[in-house]
Structure 1
Amino acid sequence: MRNMLCALFIPLAVWYSASAEDKQQNQELNSTLEADRAQTIFQRLYRRRRVEQLEAVKSLLELPEYEKQYKMVIMIAEKVYNVIESSRVTLESSGYIPGAQFPKDENVRDALSNILENTALLGDVLLHLPDITHAILAYNYEWTVMFRWSIGFCNETMLMDPKTVKMINLVAQELNITDRDPSYVNPYRKDAKLEKQTSSHVEIKTSKKKKRKDIRKGPSLSSPRTDL
C-alpha cells in the first residue's frame, strides 16, 4: 500500500515541479517585458527632457551680462552636484549595475533619471559656456570629480539617445577625460575664436609669401646675352 501511494504521488510531484518551473519562467519573462516597456517609456521621456534642457541653455546664453551668466552657472553646477551625489548613494545602495536590466524600483529609476538628466545639462552648459564653467569647476574640485564620474556612469547605462551620447563624448574631450580628436574645436571658447582668427591670418600671410616666392623662382623677362 505504501509503495502504491508513493507511485501515485511521483507523477504528481513531477507535474508540480514542472508547473512551478514554467510559472517561474513566465514570471521572469513578464518581468523582462515589463522592464523593457518601462525602459522604452523612460528613454522617450528622457528625450523630451533633453529638448527642454537645450531650450534652458539657450536662455542662459541670451543673458546680456557676464556676471549673470556666471552666477547662473554656479547655481546650476552646485545643484547638479548635490543631485548627482544623493542619487549616486541611492543607486549604489540598491546594487544597481549600469547597463544591466532596467530597475523596477521607482526610487532607483528616479535616481537614475536624475543622474542622466543633470549630467547632460551640465554638459550642455560646459560646451556652450566653457570659459565660465571651466573656471567654476577648477575652483570646486569635488564638483569636477563628481562630474567626471557621472560622465562615465552615463555612458555605461546605454540609456542615452544618440545625440546625447555624441554630446557627452564632446564633453569628455573638453574635460580631457578622453583623447581629443585632432579636429576637435569648441567654437564657444574665447581662445578658440582667437586661435581660429590667428590661424586664418597666418594661413593668408603664408600663402602670400609662398606666392611671391613662386613668382621669384619663375623665368626672368629677358634672358642674359651670351654673345658678349
Structure 2
Amino acid sequence: MIPMRKMLCTLFIPLAVWYSASAEDKLHEHEVNATSEADRAQAIFQRLYRRRRVEQLAAVKSLMELPEYEKQYKMVIMIAEKVYNVIESSRVTLESSGYIPGAQFPKDENVRDALSNILENTALLGDVLLHLPDITHAILAYNYEWTVMFRWSIGFCNETLLMDSKTVKMINLVAQEMNITDRDPSYVNPYRKDVKLEKRASDVEVKTSKKKKKKDKRKGPALSSPRVDL
C-alpha cells in the first residue's frame, strides 16, 4: 500500500500540470471528436479528471484502513485544511478572470489550473466526508470557514458541468449528507457510527431470532400418551 502522505502529495499536484505534461493524451488528442480547440481541451481535461478520481478513491480507501483513530483524524484535518486553502486561492483566480461556470472551457492556463483545483479538491473532500463522516463532520463543525467554502465549491462544481456522472452522483450524496439539499427518504450513510451501531443491533436481533426459530423447530410437537378406556 502506498504511504498516505506520499499519495496525498501526488493528489494535490494540479491537474493542469498533468494536462500540459501528458504525452500520452497529446498523442491521442486527434481521437477526440470536437469542433473547436476549446472542446478538445475540455475533452482531454475531463478524461484526465476521471483518471484522477480513481487515485482519489484509492487514497480514501487507504485512509479508511489506517488502524488508529488519531491518525485518521490528523490526516483528515490535513486534507481539509489543504483543500480549503487551495479552493480559496483558486476561487480568487476564477472570479478575477471573469470565468462563468458552465461557459466555454477556459483557454488561459492559470484559469484552467484554478478550475481543476476546485473540481479535484471538492471531490476529494466529498469522498472523505462520505467515508469518514463522523470525523469530517466534527472537523468542519470546528472550522466554520472551511464548511462555508466547501458548501460554495459544491454548488460551483455542479454548475461547471465538467464532472463525470459518478462524481455528480457522489457530490449529490455529499450535498444530502451536509443537508445542503433535502435528503432522499431512502438516504442512509452506512459509514456513520450511529448507522453502524444500529446495523449491528439489527444483525444481532436477526441472529437471535433465527436461533430461537431453529430451537423451536427442533422441539417439534409435544407427544401425548394414548388414551386408555377402563
Question: Shorter-chain TM-score category?
Answer: 0.7 to 0.9
Find the partner of 1:88 among 62, 73, 91.
91
Runs of 4 or more, structure 1, over 6 Å off, are: 200-206
Moved more, 143-152 or 196-205: 196-205
Answering whether residue 110 of structure 2 is matched by residue 107 of structure 1, we say yes
Q: CA offset at residue 50 of structure 1?
A: 0.4
- What is the rounded CA distance, in whole Å, between the counterparts of 2:97 and 2:48 in structure 1? 23
CA distance change for structure 1 residues 84 and 62 in 2, over 3 Å: closer, same or farther?
A: same
- What is the rounded CA distance, in whole Å, between the counterparts of 1:77 and 1:176 in structure 2? 19
The one-character-per-residue Cα deviations of 1:81-125 (angstroms, maximum 9, x if unpaired) are: 000000000000000000011111000000000000000000000
Letter in 2 for 1:157: T
Q: CA offset at residue 126 of structure 1?
A: 0.3
Moved more, 195-204 or 106-115: 195-204
Structure with bigger gyration radius: 1
Question: Which residue does the alignment assign to 1:184?
Answer: 187
Instruction: Give 1 or 2: higher helix fraction.
Output: 1
Answering whether residue 65 of structure 2 is matched by residue 62 of structure 1, we say yes
Question: Which structure 2 residues correspond to residues 1-228 of structure 1 after superposition, within 5 A?
Answer: 33-198=36-201
Q: CA offset at residue 192 of structure 1?
A: 1.0
Q: Identify unmatched segments of 5+ residues in structure 1.
A: 1-30, 207-228
Q: CA offset at residue 193 of structure 1?
A: 1.5
Query: Pairwise CA RMSD of aligned residues?
Result: 2.0
Q: Identify unmatched segments of 5+ residues in structure 2.
A: 1-33, 210-230
- What is the rounded CA distance, in whole Å, between the counterparts of 1:53 and 1:113 in structure 2? 14
CA distance change for structure 1 residues 205 and 179 in 2, over 3 Å: closer, same or farther?
A: farther
The one-character-per-residue Cα deviations of 1:171-192 (angstroms, maximum 9, x if unpaired) are: 0000000000111110000101
**Number of equivalent positions:** 177
- What is the rounded CA distance, in whole Å, between the counterparts of 2:149 and 2:143 in structure 1? 10
Q: CA offset at residue 194 of structure 1?
A: 2.0
Q: CA offset at residue 204 of structure 1?
A: 9.5
Q: CA offset at residue 195 of structure 1?
A: 2.8
Moved more, 170-179 or 196-205: 196-205
TM-score (norm 2): 0.73
CA distance change for structure 1 residues 66 and 202 in 2, over 3 Å: closer, same or farther?
A: same
Q: CA offset at residue 196 of structure 1?
A: 3.2
- What is the rounded CA distance, in whole Å, between the counterparts of 2:66 and 2:203 in structure 1? 30
CA distance change for structure 1 residues 202 and 178 in 2, over 3 Å: closer, same or farther?
A: farther
